[in-house]
Structure 1
């Protein structure tokens, strides 16, 4: 696979694109999405989808990071159109914190084919960042993400306009908060959100890619590979 870097976007281009996916990963896995999520993203490209994966290090201002990602994706798509001509609107794909950033996009999800949210996560800062809950009070500092978890759900219920969403959760995922997201989405006047449960845990979307990148193809876990293949087929269907 020929990964190309354009600013903070890592891109895969199949020879004959059928569609495109804008991907944001979770937490610190997203600093190198071309490595952490290699299996998932390369399988999507093999299915004819251009993959735009945003690389970032999480901060406290999630609203600002969501806007930055949205801007970078727009720039990448313009370059694609100059090369290939008009392509279908992108499917937005997120994992963990990446789901939150996709949901906070300035356009409210309008300029997309929908959102596939893998293992949505919306914890408070002191739970997401080790030792923050102990250190911040000692320094007399109150630190929380912007927007906070509660405000995030309120913003989604009031301003997120994409009707078509698929929430994917994994059976052994102790960090998944898809139920809270589903409740927020269902408060909107028009909603076509679906829920899918697959075997695995919170790191399933990334672990196959990490094992393959670090240890080689021989280290692939057949069960995880099977789940990833099921996942990529479903995502590709949503993107078409």
Structure 2
């Protein structure tokens, strides 16, 4: 694969071989600012399986709808700067999110219509009070927004009424204590003609996050072969599922 390149707020990675398609990735809180580092191994594993990767870099805020709109717009603008050659087959597009990143993809203004599916890892939809209680308390004292917009309940209502993509792969990890995929799959499957599925894999909430930086700083002894195997298995599951959508 080629090396990472920064295009505005999006980091890109290209496979060596003819691409299977494009993955647009949004990471979770505290990891999302540097996806090329925080999710390096996972995203490089996908690129190694033939996927182009566009990963959005952002700092989470309270207005999740505004951030979802910004991510969707920036992904679209970058795609438009890279036109498909005349005669080439249509490039298949998958959306991929981790934790808060799942929510931002689900709130995309196109309702998921302009992609071939969403893979949502460790979906998280907690309130601000649950997620960042200190900031929520300060917000109330200083009279600024102290709840996410839309709120957790409003988010699920919006997904039920406005999210139109039928193909969704929800991934829940067996030791993830803050995953809310069970509630999301119920909302998605309540829609007409839904084709969403829920997959449980070994791991925890940080399974998609990279250990490469820890290894670089501390040496080989700090690496975790078990986590690397789980990450590779996850990349393979997503690649196989995405290829089926592309067929």
Q: How does the TM-score come out when normalised to structure 1?
A: 0.93
Q: Which residue of 2 aligns with 1:164?
A: 167
CA RMSD of aligned residues (A): 1.9
In proportion to residue count, which structure has more helix? 1
Q: Which residue of 2 aligns with 1:50?
A: 52
**Is 2:177 aligned against 1:174?**
yes
Q: Following the alignment from structure 2 to structure 1, what is the Cα–Cα distance between the partners of residues 215 and 195?
A: 35
Candidates 138, 149, 166, aligned match of 1:146: 149
Deviations 1:95-154 (A, max 9, x none): 000000000011111111101100000010112114134333434556211100000000
Q: Following the alignment from structure 1 to structure 2, what is the Cα–Cα distance between the partners of residues 175 and 123?
A: 9
Q: Following the alignment from structure 1 to structure 2, what is the Cα–Cα distance between the partners of residues 87 and 220?
A: 39
Deviations 1:158-216 (A, max 9, x none): 11011111110111111101111111112211211111111111111104344345445
Aligned residues: 240
Gaps of 5+ in 1: none
> How much does 1:238 deviate?
2.3
Candidates 103, 116, 124, aligned match of 2:127: 124
For the residue of structure 1 that corresponds to 2:58, the secondary structure is coil
Q: Following the alignment from structure 1 to structure 2, what is the Cα–Cα distance between the partners of residues 67 and 182?
A: 23
Q: Following the alignment from structure 1 to structure 2, what is the Cα–Cα distance between the partners of residues 108 and 78?
A: 19
CA 1:207–1:59: 2 relative to 1, 3 Å = same
CA 1:7–1:140: 2 relative to 1, 3 Å = closer
The structure, 1 or 2, with the larger RCO (C-alpha pairs under 8 Å, 6+ apart) is: 1
Q: How does the TM-score come out when normalised to structure 2?
A: 0.90
Q: Following the alignment from structure 1 to structure 2, what is the Cα–Cα distance between the partners of residues 166 and 214?
A: 34
Q: Following the alignment from structure 2 to structure 1, what is the Cα–Cα distance between the partners of residues 9 and 145?
A: 30
For the residue of structure 2 that corresponds to 1:68, the secondary structure is helix
CA contact (8 A) 2:19 2:51 kept: yes
Gaps of 5+ in 2: none
Q: Which residue of 2 aligns with 1:79?
A: 81
